[in-house]
Amino acid sequence: NSEDVRCKCICPPYKDHSGHIYNKNVSQKDCDCLHVVEPMPVPGPDVEAYCLRCECKYEERSSVTIKVNDRVLLL
């Protein structure tokens, strides 16, 4: 498959938890904290507050283009 899709969630520090970046291959409609952040680093009552701080973006990229660009950089 020449297309890579993923959801990337950047979650800043929250209480005593350090910030973290999560990546997961999910559909665009599932690109949110609840579907991507695993394991959830906070207990149930804090999940909503934690997820509101996370920024999640759906990304599509071409593996073929990335491989070609890497080879060009090596030359």
- Check residue 1 and give its pLDDT: 46
Q: Answer yes or no: are the C-beta atoms of 10 and 33 closer than 8 Å.
A: no
Pick 29 or 68 by higher pLDDT: 29
58: its two tokens? 């759906």
Query: Which residue in 60, 58, 61, 40 sits closest to 50, CA to CA?
Result: 40
Using pLDDT thresholds of 50, 70 and 90, give the confidence band for residue 64. Answer: low
Question: With 70 as the cut, is the pLDDT of residue 28 above it?
Answer: yes
**Mean of the per-residue pLDDT values of the chain:** 86
> Residue 4 — very low, low, confident or very high, per pLDDT cuts 50/70/90?
confident
Give domain limits for the chain.
Answer: 5-60
